[in-house]
Amino acid sequence: MINIKLTVDSVKPFVSEDQINNFQDKISAAHQALFEKTAAGNEFLGWVNLPSSIEESFLDELLAQAKTIAQKAEVYVVIGIGGSYLGARAVIEALQHHFSQMLTGKFNSVEGYAVPQIIYAGQNISEDYLVDLMQILEHKDYAVSVISKSGTTTEPALAFRLIKNHLEKKYGKAEAANRIIAITDEKRGALKTLADKEGYKTFVVPDDVGGRYSVLTPVGLLPIAIAGFDIKKLVTGAKEMEAFLKSNTSIETNPAMLYAAVRNALNFQGKLTEILVNYEPRLYFLSEWWKQLYGESEGKIGKGIFPASVSNTSDLHSMGQYIQEGPRTIFETVLSVENSHQTISIPRDDENLDGLNYLCNKSITEVNQAAEEATRQAHIDGGVPNLRISMPKINEENLGQLLYFFEFACGLSGYTLGVNPFDQPGVEAYKKNMFAILGKPSY
Ligand code: PA5
């Protein structure tokens, strides 16, 4: 069953049905090109059939690996950047306890064994971050995954050099090698060479899957499994969405096609920024993952919608003013979660000095949903078109559906916009300058 629903009623005051339907032909062509692998970037379309091609036995292998790690490590460091980091973090943070780093024991365990705390490195070049990290690792039993498709990205390579050195001093070279897993290209790259030489356990990032589409490869699946979440349900969700989007080929029946059409129609009307809005703090990194997916896929040859995000209601007290009354070049896509996992009742207070007794019979979720609806109305009145993507609950299956929905819609939207959504030539510009500044040989 498909649990992710797209509602576009609140864009109708801004774009007509005809303006949306005008994109049907281009989007149908893009739909066909994605499944038949016939358009630009087709060498990176391995993600399209990825969910349906994942074998159960492969997931069992990842789960067995996760269990082995859990038995020897209380902390697990996931080293990676961009597409080699954001997918795992998006799913883990969407599912884990908000204060997981302060929990031990039953709150932090799966099937009777405790899972390690997941922490991240290689996603910045901050000396203070790395020194703080080494201080923490000094006193923890830990293991790491180093994840880099190219195997040559500076940020994770730098973090890994420090951590490898620390691991070898702490455990000795042989045991350090047992505590390192490399996730990289099957044949190429410095990380592959190093992993082979040192005898690390390795998992492969498939050649035909680019970084930002790699969450359902070991890049995302292994850290998610190590964190104790159900990667089988995650993949099942993605598989359900893959089948659904494959068999529905019109804007009326295929929500990814509709999303791509509406985005392009709004962009054509001068809407240059899309804000992904959440009302659940655990979706913060889902937005970060989405921003990379859409920004790196669409922002090229002078085109592309700028992907931004806000976390409400927090950001209603900061960015809300700009969204309500700033330049009318933005639209919003709200990630709407219908049910919480837990409930807490609002206590009655006899004195009612804070004036909140009127909320006593309501749940916190009702209050949150009232904020969402009130904001939707206010923003539409203020000239901000509003799309809504809803899910009944945040769980593995629904996240799997959502991830694949966004990936597929991104491919459709990029092709419709007239760009190759699967390359990222602009990412190289800063690297060349940085290497020249730092004196890297041959730069
Ligand atoms: O989506 C992408 O291709 C990028 O964001 C990469 O994932 C990121 O630059 C990290 O690259 P690598 O996995 O080669 O270290």
**Residue pLDDT, tens place only, 252-275:** 999 999 999 999 999 999 999 999
CATH 3.40.50.10490 domain residues, the chain: 5-41+234-426, 50-232
Tell me the backbone φ, ψ of residue 118, rounded to 5 degrees. Answer: -100, 130
Residues assigned a catalytic role: 296, 317, 431
User: Among residues 34, 40, 155, which one has the least CA distance to residue 425?
Assistant: 40
Residue 277 is inside which H or E element, if any? strand 273-278
What's the mean pLDDT when you consider all of the chain?
96
Assign domain 50-232 to its CATH superfamily. Answer: Glucose-6-phosphate isomerase like protein; domain 1 (3.40.50.10490)
3-state SS class at 56 = helix
User: Cα–Cα distance between 432 and 37 in angstroms, integer?
Assistant: 32
β-bridge mates for residue 143, sequence order: 76
Whether 381 and 10 have beta carbons less than 8 Å apart is answered as no
Contacts 24+ apart (CB under 8 A), 362-369: 364/340, 365/339, 365/340, 368/279, 368/313, 369/279
User: pLDDT-derived band of residue 442, with 50, 70 and 90 as boundaries?
Assistant: confident
pLDDT score, position 290: 98
C-alpha 173 to ligand 1 mean position (Å): 28
> Residue with structure tokens 């929990």?
103
Name the DSSP class of 96.
S
In the chain, pLDDT over 90 holds for what percent of residues?
Answer: 93
3-state SS class at 376 = helix
Q: What residue spans of 56-123 are helical by DSSP H?
A: 56-72, 86-95
> Residue with structure tokens 């190219």?
150
Regarding the beta carbon of 288 and ligand 1, being less than 6 Å apart is answered no
Whether 379 and 324 have beta carbons less than 8 Å apart is answered as yes
The residue-averaged pLDDT of 298-325 equals 97
Q: Which atom of ligand 1 is nearest to 219's Cα?
A: 13
C-alpha 124 to ligand 1 mean position (Å): 13
Whether 242 and 52 have beta carbons less than 8 Å apart is answered as yes
User: pLDDT-derived band of residue 105, with 50, 70 and 90 as boundaries?
Assistant: low
Tell me the backbone φ, ψ of residue 267, rounded to 5 degrees. Answer: -60, -40
Nearest CA to ligand 1 atom 8: 82
User: Cα–Cα distance between 162 and 120 in angstroms, integer?
Assistant: 14
Regarding the beta carbon of 81 and ligand 1, being less than 6 Å apart is answered yes
User: Cα–Cα distance between 384 and 321 in angstroms, integer?
Assistant: 12
| Least reliable range by pLDDT among 46-55, 110-119, 161-170 | 110-119
CATH fold group of domain 5-41+234-426: Rossmann fold (3.40.50)
Q: Which atom of ligand 1 is nearest to 212's Cα?
A: 1
User: pLDDT-derived band of residue 102, with 50, 70 and 90 as boundaries?
Assistant: confident
Q: Does the pLDDT of residue 388 top 70, yes or no?
A: yes
pLDDT score, position 106: 58
Q: Does the pLDDT of residue 107 top 70, yes or no?
A: no
Question: Dmax of the chain from CA atoms?
Answer: 75
Regarding the beta carbon of 82 and ligand 1, being less than 6 Å apart is answered yes
Ligand 1 mutation target, pool 149, 202, 205, 431, most atoms within 8 A of CB: 149
User: Cα–Cα distance between 401 and 304 in angstroms, integer?
Assistant: 24
Q: Does the pLDDT of residue 163 top 80, yes or no?
A: yes
